[in-house]
């Protein structure tokens, strides 16, 4: 199994990161894509993943982090991101995107758009996929992507929160769709319908750990919980867990250009 989005570098794992990885491997999770959320995280994340089988870094600036960063330094941060990508090792650009959930406490949407356009330019230049965050902002994101040149390496809408009616428009742009804990929630309807609408070769799974803990777990999410997410997608599609595992692992390896097996 491949966890296509896990914040293993988060402080929530500082006390037991090695044990977390051991539990994940014991349950069959061989690879994790770990997206950084801001400039201070890039170098430590690359160091964490270096020489570690199955850990793959992505580098970007999360839109929810922008209020903590001086807007006068946005261009410099994007230049630093390009330098980090040029050093190699990253499998994607991101996590980046648009966030409409924070309201007045978040960064203005026009600033988010400018920073996201910078990420998209870097993804095109380095021919890397982009890891997209879109919380209460799918329609603005769709409009932005349609106004941009195509992404040669594609990308993924992480923890896709849209409905089945929104899948075709994003799929036409070459994007993948990743599903997390909500596919296991009691009375879940929308994420299950969305998962059924996704072309099979664009389907991914993730934990978004330490957030979005799948049922029946409570508290901190961790990559070992990917098994429950895979099972939730399997129930939605009416196929075996093993088939979802094989399908989503193959899709993740193709999108992120991962080695053939956890190395």
**CA distances from residue 95 to 28, 37, 182 in whole angstroms, order as listed:** 25, 6, 19
How buried is 27 (Cβ within 10 angstroms: 0-12 exposed, 13-18 middle, 19+ buried)? middle
**Which parts of 100-199 are beta strand (E)?**
130-135, 155-157, 175-179
Q: Is the pLDDT of residue 43 over 80?
A: yes
Structure tokens at 133: 């965050």
C-alpha 51/C-alpha 227 separation (Å) is 25
The span from the CA of 175 to the CA of 138, in Å, is 13
Supply the pLDDT for residue 262. 44
Q: For residues 123 and 93, give the distance between their C-alpha atoms in angstroms, rounded to a whole number.
A: 6
229-261 pLDDT tens trace: 999 999 999 999 999 999 999 999 999 999 886
Q: Determine what percent of the chain is predicted with pLDDT higher than 90.
A: 94
Sign of the C-alpha dihedral computed for residues 223, 62, 122 and 131 taken in this order: positive
pLDDT in tens, 178-225: 999 999 999 899 999 999 999 999 999 999 999 999 999 999 999 999
Taking residue 56's Cβ as centre, other Cβ atoms within 10 Å add up to: 22
pTM for this model (two decimals) = 0.96
- pLDDT, one tens digit per residue, over 129-167 is 999 999 999 999 999 999 999 999 999 999 999 999 999
Q: What are the strands, taking DSSP E only, across the chain?
A: 2-3, 31-35, 55-59, 92-99, 130-135, 155-157, 175-179, 203-205
> 22: which 2 tokens?
């051991």
């Amino acid at each position: 199994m491949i966890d296509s989005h896990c914040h293993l570098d988060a402080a929530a794992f500082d006390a037991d990161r090695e044990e977390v990885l051991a539990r994940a491997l014991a349950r069959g999770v061989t690879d994790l894509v770990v997206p950084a959320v801001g400039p201070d995280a890039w170098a430590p994340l690359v160091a964490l993943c270096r020489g570690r089988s199955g850990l793959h870094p992505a580098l970007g600036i999360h839109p929810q982090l922008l209020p903590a960063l001086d807007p006068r330094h946005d261009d410099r941060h994007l230049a630093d991101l390009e330098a980090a990508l040029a050093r190699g090792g990253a499998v994607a650009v991101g996590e980046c995107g648009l966030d409409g959930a924070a309201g007045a406490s978040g960064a203005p949407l026009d600033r988010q758009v400018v920073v996201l356009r910078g990420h998209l330019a870097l993804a095109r230049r380095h021919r890397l996929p982009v890891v997209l965050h879109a919380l209460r902002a799918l329609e603005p994101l769709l409009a932005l992507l349609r106004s941009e040149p195509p992404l040669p390496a594609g990308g993924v809408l992480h923890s896709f929160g849209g409905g089945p009616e929104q899948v075709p428009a994003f799929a036409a742009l070459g994007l993948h769709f990743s599903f997390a804990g909500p596919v296991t929630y009691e009375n879940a309807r929308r994420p299950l319908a969305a998962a059924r609408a996704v072309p099979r070769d664009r389907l991914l799974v993730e934990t978004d750990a330490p957030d979005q803990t799948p049922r029946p777990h409570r508290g901190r999410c961790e990559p070992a919980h990917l098994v429950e997410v895979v099972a939730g997608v399997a129930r939605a599609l009416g196929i075996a867990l093993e088939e979802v595992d094989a399908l989503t692992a193959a899709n993740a390896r193709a999108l992120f250009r991962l080695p053939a097996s956890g190395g």
